């Protein structure tokens, strides 16, 4: 293996070794700052539409995101800001896509750039659109959860399509108080299943399941695979931003 290859492997090992601890830190840091209810809507908006487009595109490598559809969040919800060509869709998720017991569920500063592949656009993106509509309708966290559970029970939200995945490789995002962009990773969206099915969270496995993200009402399990570089090609460190 070349020197560059060894360096990349070493970097990835550092990233992997910190994921579980960083995940716990995200929870702990947000727990210190309570967000009991939704802030004024304007606090969740990004005034500069071009800035939001750029942030959304930063979720994935430019070879993918430059040809992707981009959604931007506005007072009426997500709308198409750029028509894409490759079937991918990039957007910036807001805090209400967190698990319902997350202390940061209403954190207006959270920005989660994500880019879905075509299978995830068809079957995972609807989860974001659905929750966002409920938020803009003025529902409480409890009401949103109950509504989502009822929607799933009626099979009105799709199960993840085979091959559904997403990129979260932006170093410009903010996933929680004191956490910043966390670490670059890929997410694989599958129907509800036990983490052992993918060998997640076992020694030597690159696959991670953050336990706090398991109990969500949508019909999916998310397996995460940290990677060693951000979407712009720069190496990621194992340190969590403060």
DSSP output for 76-129: TEEEEEE--SSS-EEEEE-GGGS-TT-TTTT-TT-BEEEEE-HHHHHHTHHHHH
Contact criterion met (CB below 8 Å) for 226 and 16: yes
Q: Where are the beta strands (DSSP E) in the chain?
A: 69-74, 77-82, 89-93, 112-116, 165-168, 185-190, 221-226
CA–CA dist 132, 122 (Å, integer): 17
- Quick check: 92 and 108 in contact, CB under 8 A? no
Angle between helices 125-136 and 141-153 (to 10 degrees): 140
Q: Where are the domains of the chain?
A: 3-226
Of 116, 214, 122, nearest in space to 160 by CA: 122
Asked if 137 and 75 touch (Cβ cutoff 8 Å), the reply is: no
**Pick from 219, 208, 205: which is nearest to 160 by CA?**
219
pLDDT at 163: 97
pLDDT for position 178:
63
Specify the pTM.
0.84
CA angle (59, 60, 65) in 5-degree steps: 105
Per-residue pLDDT, 176 = 77
CA distance 173 to 114: 9
Structure confidence at residue 169 (pLDDT): 98
Q: pLDDT (tens digit, 0 to 9) for every residue of the chain, 242 residues total?
A: 444 443 443 444 444 444 444 444 444 454 555 789 999 999 999 999 999 999 999 999 999 999 999 999 999 999 999 999 999 999 999 999 998 988 899 999 999 999 999 999 999 999 999 999 999 999 999 999 999 999 999 999 999 999 999 999 999 999 876 667 889 999 999 998 887 777 777 788 888 875 555 668 999 999 999 999 999 999 997 543 32
- The pair of structure tokens assigned to 108 is 């207006």
CB distance 183 to 22 below 8 Å: yes
pLDDT score at 90: 98
Any bridge partners for residue 222, and if so which? 189
Task: Determine the Cα angle at 171 with ends 107 and 13, to 5°.
Answer: 110
* pLDDT for residue 211: 54
CA distance 182 to 109: 15
Residues 108 and 95 sit within 8 Å (Cβ to Cβ): yes
């Amino acid at each position: 293996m070349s020197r560059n290859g060894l360096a990349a492997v070493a970097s990835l090992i550092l990233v992997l070794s910190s994921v579980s601890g960083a995940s716990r830190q995200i929870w702990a840091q947000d727990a210190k700052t309570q967000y009991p209810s939704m802030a004024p809507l304007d606090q969740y908006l990004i005034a500069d539409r071009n800035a939001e487009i750029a942030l959304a595109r930063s979720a994935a490598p430019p070879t993918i995101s430059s040809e992707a559809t981009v959604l931007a969040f506005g007072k009426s919800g997500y709308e198409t800001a750029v028509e894409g060509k490759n079937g991918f869709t990039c957007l910036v998720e807001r805090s209400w896509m967190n698990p319902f017991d997350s202390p940061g569920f209403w954190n207006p500063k959270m920005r989660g750039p994500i880019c879905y592949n075509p299978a995830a656009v068809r079957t995972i993106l609807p989860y974001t659109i659905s929750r966002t509509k409920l938020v803009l309708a003025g529902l409480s966290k409890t009401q949103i959860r109950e509504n989502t559970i009822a929607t799933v029970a009626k099979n009105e939200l799709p199960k993840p399509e085979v091959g559904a995945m997403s990129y979260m490789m932006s170093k410009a995002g903010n996933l929680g108080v004191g956490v910043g962009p966390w670490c670059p990773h890929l997410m694989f969206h599958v129907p509800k299943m036990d983490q052992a099915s993918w060998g997640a969270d076992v020694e030597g496995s690159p696959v991670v399941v953050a336990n706090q993200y398991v109990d969500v009402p949508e019909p999916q399990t998310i397996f995460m695979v940290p990677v060693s570089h951000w979407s712009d090609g720069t190496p990621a460190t194992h340190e969590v931003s403060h």
